[in-house]
Amino acid sequence: MKIAIIGGGPGGYEAALVASQLGADVTLAERDGLGGACVLTDCVPSKALIEVSSTVTVLNGATDLGIQLPGTADGSRPRATADAERLYRRIKSLAQAQSRDVAARVAAEGVEVLDDIGRLSSPGTIRAGGRDIAADAVLLAVGAHPRVLPDSVPDGERILNWRQLYDLPEIPEELIVVGSGVTGAEFASAYQSLGSKVTLVSSRTRVLPHEDVDAAVVIEEVFRRRGMTVLGRSRAASVKRDGDRVVVTLTDGRVVRGSHCLLTVGMEPSVDGIGLEEAGVKLDERGFVEVDRVSRTSAPGVYAAGDCTGVLMLASVAAMQGRIAMWHALGEAVHPIRLSHVAATIFTDPEIATIGVTASAVESGEVPAAVVKLPLAGNPRAKMAGIRDGFVKLYARPDTSVVLGGVIVAPRASELILPVSVAVEQRLTVDQLAQTFTVYPSLSGSLAEAARKLMRYGDFN
Ligand SMILES: Cc1cc2nc3c(=O)[nH]c(=O)nc-3n(C[C@H](O)[C@H](O)[C@H](O)COP(=O)(O)OP(=O)(O)OC[C@H]3O[C@@H](n4cnc5c(N)ncnc54)[C@H](O)[C@@H]3O)c2cc1C
């Protein structure tokens, strides 16, 4: 079987690896670099930046733990900051190294990579590298790019999208972040820790409007306590340069000024001019490629994966959609994608990790569930580490006591969520989770404790 893939991000390269391992002859066209935007400009660089910002936060909280850092013997608080040039250089070289690793893995599997823009000539043919490549199945994994608003156009110097941050010569002194979704909240959190004076412009009543309310409330409280200005119900109408400054005008006429503005106002699929509609690939009303749960588009033999489908814009989902496409195309047994089983993390400080049923589904009565929420402040390990904010929350079915999901707000919540993911995937009960040994003292001890509390619900079998 011959497979042609356009786009070498997680959607494309993970599919290429699977298809190649299954014996297919695979050609992949990638215009920018393997690993895609995920590795080169989005996920990997942002998580590297956030990792450093977390270390700065730890250092700046050190005196509260009884640590004396050089120069603080008089009781003054340490003020660790970042060296922008070294920080950004390290991040970019880390991303390049990761891209090279992906390229090496793909090459080792015998995938042919064309460094070129790929276009769909017909449902069974792509054009790239100056030739037409006929394939039994085609995968579109072309990703998405930052949305640009007409009155807020990035200039790469003071008005920026997140892909331009790593070319700055400095840490912004006064950063205005427009948009309080996941990307906006993550960068606002990181730059506040790195020493910027951050103003977060949120069009909704609270930050992270689409996330668990309890978690969003904790994050907003932490943001404000650390000195961030959070402007709720404030929509930016325009962002303009004023010399070396930026001026953000809100729709109600208020004006916010700063040294830099970061725009995090969403993504658009990278589908223009590559022959999709001509080949019969249907786009939805937002312009994303329509796919079913095994990644098929409306054109026979054409699959799509990742951000260009707008399904759930996560690297893990892109990769799974790509693999599913290949398993399906190559006749392997395949499960349709289960989005309710996707574990996700918002890398604010503290992190928010979620899996399974959402609070809104439970509160609306759509899913019957018992819930227990335990603040981390009561956890012995959290006390030792000086962790004040955060909680673990578990949902379980009232009739069967099967774990339906959970939310963890904590440092490294991204690591702590795994037992809940396993419980949801394997349909474990709260009793099984509660009877599992945890280490004392540990943050994960709170998960077992939440499960024990849920066992007390009388209506469980
Ligand atoms: C700031 C930020 C942080 C994020 N952090 C996380 C995170 O922590 N965890 C997580 O799971 N997800 C995260 N994401 C989301 C994640 O980056 C995306 O979901 C993921 O990149 C999607 O993978 P993809 O393969 O669909 O697309 P991409 O990674 O965008 O790759 C698409 C590739 O296709 C190429 N391409 C496009 N058109 C063509 C063409 N015509 N011909 C050839 N090549 C083409 C592009 O050059 C690109 O390399 C983050 C996103 C952002 C914006």
Which tens digits make up the pLDDT trace of 278-303? 999 999 999 999 999 999 999 999 99
Residue 115 predicted with pLDDT over 80: yes
pTM: 0.96
The total of other beta-carbon atoms located within 10 Å of residue 93's CB is: 10
The position carrying tokens 């006929």 is 134
The position carrying tokens 């014996």 is 23
Strands in 370-375's sheet, in edge-to-edge order, are 344-346, 351-356, 403-410, 391-396, 370-375
Compute the average pLDDT of residues 27-42: 98
Structure tokens at 389: 């904010």
Q: How many angstroms does the Cα of residue 284 sit away from the middle of ligand 1? A: 19
Residue 459 has a pLDDT of 52
Q: How many angstroms does the Cα of residue 319 sit away from the middle of ligand 1? A: 10
Residue 458 has a pLDDT of 52
Cβ of 146 less than 6 Å from ligand 1? no
Residue 312 predicted with pLDDT over 70: yes
Residue 435 predicted with pLDDT over 50: yes
Question: What is the rounded distance in angstroms from the CA atom of residue 410 to the CA atom of residue 420?
Answer: 14
Burial string for 379-418 (b: 16+ CB within 10 Å, else e) reads: bebbeebebebbbbbbbbbbeebbbbbbbbbbbebbebbe
Compute the average pLDDT of residues 112-135: 97
Residues 62-106 pLDDT 10s: 888 999 888 877 877 778 889 999 999 999 999 999 999 999 999
How far apart are the two ends of the chain, measured CA to CA in Å? Answer: 51
The full 3-state SS of the chain, as one line of letters, equals CEEEEECCCHHHHHHHHHHHHCCCEEEEECCCCCCHHHHHCCHHHHHHHHHHHHHHHHHHCHHHHCCCCCCCCCCCCCCCCCCHHHHHHHHHHHHHHHHHHHHHHHHHCCCEEECCCCEEEECCEEEECCEEEECCEEEECCCEEECCECCECCCCCCEEEHHHHHHCCCCCCEEEEECCCHHHHHHHHHHHHCCCEEEEECCCCCCCCCCCHHHHHHHHHHHHHCCCEEECCCCEEEEEEECCEEEEEECCCCEEEECEEEECCCEEECCCCCCCCCCCCCECCCCCECCCCCCECCCCCEEECHHHHCCCCCHHHHHHHHHHHHHHHCCCCCCCCCHHHCCEEECCCCEEEEEECCHHHHHCCCCCCEEEEEEHHHCHHHHHHCCCCCEEEEEECCCCCEEEEEEEEECCHHHHCHHHHHHHHCCCEHHHHHCCCCCCCCCCHHHHHHHHHHHCCCCCC
Question: What is the rounded distance in angstroms from the CA atom of residue 36 to the CA atom of residue 105?
Answer: 14
Compute the average pLDDT of residues 46-50: 98
Question: What is the rounded distance in angstroms from the CA atom of residue 196 to the CA atom of residue 175?
Answer: 6
Q: How many angstroms does the Cα of residue 88 sit away from the middle of ligand 1? A: 20
Positive/negative CA dihedral, 438, 439, 440, 443: negative
CA distances from 299 to 126, 278, 296, 305, 375 (A): 14, 10, 8, 14, 50
Cβ of 48 less than 6 Å from ligand 1? no
Residue 139 predicted with pLDDT over 50: yes
Compute the average pLDDT of residues 122-136: 96
Q: How many angstroms does the Cα of residue 150 sit away from the middle of ligand 1? A: 23
pLDDT over 70 percentage in the chain: 99
The contacts found for 83-91 with CB under 8 angstroms, 24 or more apart, are: 84/168, 84/169, 84/170, 84/171, 85/169, 87/49, 87/52, 87/171, 88/165, 88/166, 88/167, 88/168, 90/48, 91/45, 91/48, 91/49, 91/166
Confidence label for 456 from pLDDT (cuts 50, 70 and 90): low
Residues 6+ apart with CB under 8 A from 31: 115, 116, 117, 118
Least confident of 76-80, 330-334, 365-369: 76-80
Residue 73 has a pLDDT of 77
Q: Which of 42, 187, 263, 281 to mutate to test the pocket of ligand 1 (most atoms within 8 A of CB)?
A: 42
The per-residue pLDDT of the chain, averaged, comes to: 96
Compute the average pLDDT of residues 230-236: 96
Q: 135 and 3 in contact (C-beta within 8 Å)?
A: yes
Confidence label for 461 from pLDDT (cuts 50, 70 and 90): very low
Give the pairing type, strands 174-178 and 197-201: parallel
Q: How many angstroms does the Cα of residue 74 sit away from the middle of ligand 1? A: 48
Residues 413-429 pLDDT 10s: 999 999 999 999 999 99
Q: Which of 34, 43, 177 to mutate to test the pocket of ligand 1 (most atoms within 8 A of CB)?
A: 43
